[in-house]
Amino acid sequence: MSNIVVAGAQWGDEGKGKIVDLLTENVSVVARFQGGHNAGHTVVINKKKFILHLIPSGILHKGKICIIGNGVVIDPGALIQEIKGLKRKGIPVGKNLFISDSAHVIMPYHTAIDNQSERSAKKSKKIGTTGRGIGPAYMDKMSRAGIRIADLMDSRVFREKLKANLSFVNYLLVNKYKTRRISLEKIYAQYMKHAAFLETFVTDTSVLLNKYIEKGRNVLFEGAQGTLLDIDHGTYPFVTSSSASAGGVCTGLGVAPTRIDGVLGVVKAYTTRVGGGPFVTELKDKIGEYLRLKGGEYGATTGRPRRCGWLDAVGLRYAVRINGFTDIALTKLDVLDGMDKIKVCVAYKYDDPYRSCSCSKKGRSCRFTDIPHNNRILEACRPVYKELEGWSISTQGAKRFKDLPKQARAYIKYIEDLLGVKVSLISTGEKRDEVIVLKDPVTGRKK
Ligand code: GDP
Ligand code: IMO
Ligand code: MG
């Protein structure tokens, strides 16, 4: 038995979708535990590209059970579109998909508030959300005003809750954001149609999942976003609104911590970020542009260009601590092909003009080897780089470690030493088989 979490180690888009798809072969169940359709997980199989938003990436394998857990926020319209889109591409979606009756529902007013609050925020305060209503939906969950899938399935309860929520929401929309009010009847009719479509997928997924675990079947817990976007551990407030690190599995699926056997951290060979917020290793020069073009760094959900930079070992060590990674999947190594030099940030340097830093070097230039939680300090941090040799030979599509140029092997070894965690998988291209498997994190088999 082996139940493994797959979690992003950076600011999302590390290539989790590809890694989950790869590992699904040896598991029975793939379960999402947080986030919503803000996620965009890309899987490329035989030149066909699939972008999964809410449905676990395991859906592309025949005969695997996919679960959308209670920690996920579900926009029913978006989910139905995704189901229909997959079916159009020949992927069966039916008895292989289950939705938690305790997951919270994203309502049209969540999306409206998300977009209006972003629009009215000052430039420096804009989070750059995906505009999918994620934050406001989690706000309602936490304030205990949320509507759950079980409520959606009960027309009377749904109508009552919707009516109660709209009285406040419409006040906000009209008076603060000066936009149109939302009609109860319109949403009610629309969501009742959604409910009828989704009804057969709904169940208590904690019961279901734990039955599989009891039977000794392998499970993958598929994370969305990444550790630095986690609501508690990320670069707050420039984060998403869910628990994107491994800790989210237990609350987001109703699975006990004692059931988790390992945590695979997905690490992109460099760093990217979409939206606002601090990014110490960001490259606003030609190298950043090169990474964006070569790596195809444009959002899988919104199409926005991703900000690019060098690998940040300060952030990664932090992610190792928060998630307890047992293995690492290093992705997009091939994007670094042809670079003369490659840099890794090993510490942050900070000159404190206000003498407000709490470290012992008060007022002088100090170094951080952990992410400071004061955003003003983090924004002012500069990277301390270790420079490594690049390589000119292509690694694209490499399937054996020994086929990698020695500088690429040295880069991987350097990352392992910095983080104290072994790299088990090395992804060398977007396609399913473009990967070097040193150890299968699910079966533990070494190659
Ligand atoms: P996720 O959100 O973590 O699943 O990642 P995304 O799908 O948003 O972004 C990763 C992008 O990189 C996708 O376009 C993948 O097809 C692509 N990708 C994944 N692994 C590799 C790799 O090793 N090399 C290259 N060149 N592309 C990759
Ligand atoms: P995957 O699963 C990268 C970012 C947004 C924004 C912040 C908050 O594909 O890795 P939200 O809409 O969640 O309230 O936006 O989080 N963000 C992501 N960035 N990958 C993602 O998902 C993301 N999901 C949200 O860009 O900065
Ligand atoms: Mg993505």
Peptide bond into 136 cis (omega under 30): no
Spatial separation of the C-alpha atoms in residues 66 and 87, rounded to whole Å: 15
**Residue numbers annotated as active site:** 13, 41
Phi first, then psi, for residue 259 (nearest 5°) are -90, -10
Per DSSP, what are the bridge partners of residue 182?
none
Return the CATH superfamily for domain 104-198: Adenylosuccinate Synthetase, subunit A, domain 2 (1.10.300.10)
Portion of the chain with pLDDT greater than 90, in percent: 91
Query: Quick count: other Cβ atoms within 10 Å of Cβ 211?
Result: 11
Phi, psi (deg, nearest 5) at residue 12: 90, 170
Ligand nearest to the CA of 235: 2
Span 435-441, mean pLDDT?
Answer: 97
pLDDT at 236 over 70: yes
Rounded CA separation 169/211 (Å): 40
CA of 18 to the centre of ligand 1 (A): 7
What pLDDT, in 10s, does the model give residues 261-271?
999 999 999 99
Q: Whose CA is nearest to atom 12 of ligand 1?
A: 15
pLDDT confidence of 362, banded at 50, 70, 90?
Answer: low
C-alpha dihedral, 81 to 67 to 5 to 111, nearest 10°: 40
Tell whether ligand 2 has an atom less than 6 A from the beta carbon of residue 274. Answer: yes
pTM exceeding the 0.95 threshold for the entire prediction: yes
What percent of the chain stands above pLDDT 70? 97
Ligand 2 centre to CA of 56 (Å) is 16
Q: Which residues are CB-neighbours of 13 under 8 A, at least 6 positions away?
A: 40, 226, 268, 272, 274, 297, 299, 300, 306
Kindly report, residue by residue over 255-293, the tens digit of the pLDDT. Answer: 999 999 999 999 999 999 999 999 999 999 999 999 999
pLDDT, averaged across the chain:
95
Q: What b/e sequence results for 170-194 when a residue is b if at least 16 CB atoms lie within 10 Å of its CB, and e otherwise?
A: bebbeeeeeeeebeeeebbeebeeb
Bridge partners of 31?
A: 67, 221
Q: Find the mean pLDDT for residues 348-363.
A: 70
Q: What is the mean pLDDT of residues 161-180?
A: 94
Q: How many CB atoms lie within 10 A of CB 296?
A: 12
Task: Establish how many alpha carbons lie within 13 A of residue 255's alpha carbon, considering only the half-sphere containing its beta carbon.
Answer: 33
Six token digits for residue 32: 């999402």
Counting from 1 in the atom list of ligand 1, the atom nearest the Cα of 18 is 19
Choose among 437, 348, 341: nearest CA to 392.
341
- Identify the DSSP state of 201: G
One fold for 3-100+202-267 and 104-198: no
**Is residue 33 a contact partner of residue 242, using CB atoms and an 8 Å limit?**
no
- Which helix (H) or strand (E) segment is 217 a member of? none
pLDDT at 247 over 90: yes
The residue-averaged pLDDT of 411-439 equals 97
CATH superfamily of 3-100+202-267: Adenylosuccinate Synthetase, subunit A, domain 1 (3.40.440.10)
Is 21 touching ligand 1 by the criterion CB < 6 Å? no
Instruction: Say yes or no to pLDDT of 353 above 70.
Output: no
Domain boundaries, the chain: 3-100+202-267, 104-198
The more confident residue out of 447 and 108 is 108
Query: How many angstroms does the Cα of residue 129 sit away from the middle of ligand 2?
Result: 7
